[in-house]
Chain A
Amino acid sequence: ETGVTQSPTHLIKTRGQQVTLRCSSQSGHNTVSWYQQALGQGPQFIFQYYREEENGRGNFPPRFSGLQFPNYSSELNVNALELDDSALYLCASSLGGTSGVYEQYFGPGTRLTVT
Chain B
Amino acid sequence: AQSVTQLGSHVSVSEGALVLLRCNYSSSVPPYLFWYVQYPNQGLQLLLKYTTGATLVKGINGFEAEFKKSETSFHLTKPSAHMSDAAEYFCAVRYQTGANNLFFGTGTRLTVIP
Contact = CB atoms under 8 A, between A and B. Distances in A.
A93 to B, nearest CB: 11
A98 B49 contact: no
A4 B106 CA distance: 23
Given A106-B45, A108-B42, A98 B106 contact: no
B105 A42 contact: yes
Given A101-B51, A101-B94, A90 B43 contact: yes
Interface in A84-99: 90, 92, 94, 96-99
Contacts of B106: 40-42
15 contacts: A33-B100, A42-B4, A42-B90, A42-B92, A42-B107, A43-B104, A48-B101, A55-B100, A56-B100, A58-B101, A96-B100, A97-B100, A106-B43, A108-B42, A109-B42
Interface centre among B32, B101, B103 (most CB of A within 10 A): B101
B99 A108 contact: no
Nearest to A31: B100
A102 to B, nearest CB: 6
Nearest to B41: A108
Q: Place the interface of chain A in its size category.
A: 20 to 34
Contacts of B32: 101
A96 B106 CA distance: 27
Given A41-B107, A42-B107, A98 B43 contact: no
Interface string B18-46: 00000000000000100010000111111
